[in-house]
Homo-oligomer: A and B are copies of this chain.
Amino acid sequence: MNRIALCALVLAGAARADEGMWTFDNFPAKKVAAKYKFAPDAAWLEEARLATVRLAGGCSGSFVSPDGLVMTNHHCAHSCIEQLSTKEKDFVAQGFYAPRADDEVKCPEIELNQLIQIADVTSQVQGATRGLKPGKEFNDRRKAAMAGIEKECSAGNDKLRCNVVELYHGGQYSLYKYKRFQDVRLVFAPEFAIAFFGGDPDNFNFPRYDLDVSFIRAYEDGRPAHTEHFFKWSPSGAKDGDLTFVTGSPGRTDRALTMRQLQDDRDVVLPDRLAELAQWRGALTVFTQESPEHDRIAEGDLFFVENNVKRYTGYFESLTTPTLWDKLADRERTLRARVAGRSSLRKKYASAWDDVARAVDAFRAHRKEFSYVELNGDARPPSAFNSPLISLARMLVRGTDELQKPNEQRLKEFSDSRLPELKQKLFSRAPIYPEFEQFRLAYMLTKMREQLGADHPVVKKVFGKRSPQEIAHELVKSRLYDVKVREQLWQGGRDAVQASDDPAIEFERLIDPDARAIRKWHDDEIEPLETSGAERIAAARFEIEGKSSYPDATFTPRISYGAVRGWEENGRRVEPFTNFSGAFDRATGRDPFKLPESWIAANQNHQVEPATPFDFVTDNDIIGGNSGSPVFDKSRQVVGLIFDGNIHSLGGDYGFDETVNRAVAVDSAALVEALDHIYGARRVVAELKGSGAAAAATGQ
Binding site for B on A (CB under 8 A): 198, 200-202, 205, 266-268, 270-271, 274-276, 278-287, 290, 309, 313, 316, 320, 449-450, 453-454, 463-467, 470, 588-591, 593
For A267, give its contact among B279, B320, B449, B466 (CB under 8 Å): B320
Q: Across the interface, which residues of B come within 8 angstroms of A464, CB to CB?
A: 588
For A271, give its contact among B271, B449, B591 (CB under 8 Å): B271
User: A365's closest neighbor in chain B, by CB?
Assistant: B570
Contact A454 B593 (CB under 8 A): yes
User: A463's closest neighbor in chain B, by CB?
Assistant: B588
Q: Across the interface, which residues of B come within 8 angstroms of A282, CB to CB?
A: 278-286
Q: Across the interface, which residues of B come within 8 angstroms of A202, CB to CB?
A: 454
Considering the complex of A and B, which 6 residue pairs feature the smallest CB-CB distances, nearest first?
A282-B282, A282-B283, A267-B320, A278-B278, A279-B282, A465-B588
Q: How far is it, in angstroms, between the C-alpha of A284 and the C-alpha of B282 when the chains are bound?
A: 8
Contact A201 B275 (CB under 8 A): no
A-B CB contact pairs (8 Å), 7 listed: A198-B454, A282-B285, A283-B283, A286-B287, A466-B588, A466-B590, A467-B590
Q: How far is it, in angstroms, between the C-alpha of A504 and the C-alpha of B309 when the chains are bound?
A: 32
Q: Across the interface, which residues of B come within 8 angstroms of A274, CB to CB?
A: 271, 274-275, 278
Q: Across the interface, which residues of B come within 8 angstroms of A588, CB to CB?
A: 463-467
Q: Across the interface, which residues of B come within 8 angstroms of A267, CB to CB?
A: 266, 320
Q: Across the interface, which residues of B come within 8 angstroms of A200, CB to CB?
A: 450
Contact B449 A201 (CB under 8 A): yes
Q: How far is it, in angstroms, between the C-alpha of A591 and the C-alpha of B309 when the chains are bound?
A: 30
A259 → B minimal CB distance (Å) = 13
Q: How far is it, in angstroms, between the C-alpha of A465 and the C-alpha of B588 when the chains are bound?
A: 5
A466 → B minimal CB distance (Å) = 7
When all copies of this chain in the complex are counted, the total is 2
Q: How far is it, in angstroms, between the C-alpha of A201 and the C-alpha of B309 when the chains are bound?
A: 25
User: A264's closest neighbor in chain B, by CB?
Assistant: B320
A314 → B minimal CB distance (Å) = 13
For A278, give its contact among B205, B275, B320 (CB under 8 Å): B275
User: A466's closest neighbor in chain B, by CB?
Assistant: B590
Q: Across the interface, which residues of B come within 8 angstroms of A279, CB to CB?
A: 278-279, 281-282
Q: Across the interface, which residues of B come within 8 angstroms of A320, CB to CB?
A: 267-268
Contact B465 A589 (CB under 8 A): yes
Q: Across the interface, which residues of B come within 8 angstroms of A470, CB to CB?
A: 590
Contact A454 B283 (CB under 8 A): no
Q: How far is it, in angstroms, between the C-alpha of A275 and the C-alpha of B315 when the chains are bound?
A: 14
Q: How far is it, in angstroms, between the C-alpha of A266 and the C-alpha of B276 when the chains are bound?
A: 18
User: A287's closest neighbor in chain B, by CB?
Assistant: B286
User: A270's closest neighbor in chain B, by CB?
Assistant: B271
A58 → B minimal CB distance (Å) = 24
Q: Across the interface, which residues of B come within 8 angstroms of A313, CB to CB?
A: 275
User: A284's closest neighbor in chain B, by CB?
Assistant: B282
Q: How far is it, in angstroms, between the C-alpha of A590 and the C-alpha of B446 when the chains are bound?
A: 12
Q: How far is it, in angstroms, between the C-alpha of A270 and the C-alpha of B272 when the chains are bound?
A: 12
User: A321's closest neighbor in chain B, by CB?
Assistant: B267
Q: Across the interface, which residues of B come within 8 angstroms of A449, CB to CB?
A: 201
Q: How far is it, in angstroms, between the C-alpha of A449 and the C-alpha of B286 when the chains are bound?
A: 18
Beyond A201-B454, A274-B274, A275-B275: 14 further Cβ-contacts under 8 Å? A200-B450, A201-B449, A268-B320, A270-B271, A271-B271, A271-B316, A274-B275, A276-B278, A279-B281, A282-B286, A464-B588, A465-B589, A466-B590, A467-B590
Q: How far is it, in angstroms, between the C-alpha of A588 and the C-alpha of B471 when the chains are bound?
A: 14
User: A587's closest neighbor in chain B, by CB?
Assistant: B465
Q: How far is it, in angstroms, between the C-alpha of A54 and the C-alpha of B363 when the chains are bound?
A: 45
A323 → B minimal CB distance (Å) = 13
Q: How far is it, in angstroms, between the C-alpha of A280 and the C-alpha of B279 when the chains are bound?
A: 7
Q: Across the interface, which residues of B come within 8 angstroms of A281, CB to CB?
A: 279, 282
Q: How far is it, in angstroms, between the C-alpha of A285 and the C-alpha of B283 when the chains are bound?
A: 7
User: A453's closest neighbor in chain B, by CB?
Assistant: B201
Q: How far is it, in angstroms, between the C-alpha of A511 and the C-alpha of B335 when the chains are bound?
A: 54
User: A280's closest neighbor in chain B, by CB?
Assistant: B282
Q: Across the interface, which residues of B come within 8 angstroms of A201, CB to CB?
A: 449-450, 453-454
Q: How far is it, in angstroms, between the C-alpha of A287 and the C-alpha of B198 when the chains are bound?
A: 26
For A465, give its contact among B198, B450, B463, B590 (CB under 8 Å): B590
Q: How far is it, in angstroms, between the C-alpha of A205 and the C-alpha of B451 when the chains are bound?
A: 12
Q: How far is it, in angstroms, between the C-alpha of A240 and the C-alpha of B454 when the chains are bound?
A: 26
Q: In the complex, which of the residues A267, A279, A282, A464 has the most CB atoms of chain B within 10 Å of its own CB atom?
A: A282
Q: In the complex, which of the residues A270, A275, A281, A467 has the most CB atoms of chain B within 10 Å of its own CB atom?
A: A275
Q: How far is it, in angstroms, between the C-alpha of A286 and the C-alpha of B309 when the chains are bound?
A: 19
A595 → B minimal CB distance (Å) = 12
User: A449's closest neighbor in chain B, by CB?
Assistant: B201
Q: Across the interface, which residues of B come within 8 angstroms of A309, CB to CB?
A: 275
Q: Across the interface, which residues of B come within 8 angstroms of A280, CB to CB?
A: 282
User: A309's closest neighbor in chain B, by CB?
Assistant: B275
Q: How far is it, in angstroms, between the C-alpha of A275 and the C-alpha of B467 when the chains are bound?
A: 26
A355 → B minimal CB distance (Å) = 19
Q: How far is it, in angstroms, between the C-alpha of A285 and the C-alpha of B280 when the chains are bound?
A: 10
A13 → B minimal CB distance (Å) = 25
Q: Across the interface, which residues of B come within 8 angstroms of A467, CB to CB?
A: 588, 590-591
Q: In the complex, which of the residues A266, A267, A313, A467 has the most CB atoms of chain B within 10 Å of its own CB atom?
A: A267
Q: How far is it, in angstroms, between the C-alpha of A270 and the C-alpha of B464 when the chains are bound?
A: 35
Q: How far is it, in angstroms, between the C-alpha of A278 and the C-alpha of B274 when the chains are bound?
A: 9
A407 → B minimal CB distance (Å) = 40
A299 → B minimal CB distance (Å) = 15
